[in-house]
Amino acid sequence: MSQPRTLLHTRHVTCTAYLREDGLLDVEGEMRDITPVDTDLLFRVAAAGGDIHHMHMTMTLDRDLVIQHVLARTHAGPTPYCQEIESAYGALEGLKIAPGFLPKVKARVGGIRGCTHLTELLGPMATTAYQARFALMRKHNHLRQRLAGGQPLPRPALVDSCHTYRLDGEAIQLIWPEDRRQGSDHAVSSKDD
């Protein structure tokens, strides 16, 4: 049994992805820091159950995960100056969500060029964008169908992304069998079908 506890702080981070009618993706991120007690923030008082921080960002992406537009909003911050940096996130337009994304983000909107909390929100938003792209791929090109097809398979993007998907692990052996690897000597040629 755990020891008696007193709630000190709650942080909620929610990210949601949508497919737009024009084919683009919108990824929305929201972060709220909620105080359980009246909190004096020097510039204002946050009432019990109220927000210390409440940030929201919408990132519009193409299917290659290139950022087309960013809208950042600070609904609540500890100072009246927090909203001044919202437009800085337009500097992310044209950036692609791919390996190395977060260092590129920090170069554009890190430190004094951005808001710590809005910038931190971009990490979970980026992984949400990947999950949205995977959802679209599953809808149109299901892995089970590709595995049943007998054709050579390209290297999955997941290879070596974590322990489970390490190249020599069981998951990758099932997803990308050695005898079906595109470009390898073991891959079955499509002419043999």
Task: Enumerate the domain spans of the chain.
Answer: 10-140, 143-188
Going from the C-alpha of 78 to that of each of 32, 33, 41, 46, the distances in angstroms are: 12, 11, 6, 9
Res 184: pLDDT: 59
Q: Which of 43, 72, 78 is nearest to 58 (CA)?
A: 72
Tell me the average confidence (pLDDT) per consecutive run of 10 residues in the chain, 193 residues long.
Answer: 94 99 99 98 97 99 98 98 98 97 98 98 98 88 73 87 94 90 56 36
* Rounded Cα gap, residues 119 and 110, in angstroms: 7
Residue 118: predicted pLDDT = 98
Structure tokens at 114: 């951005």
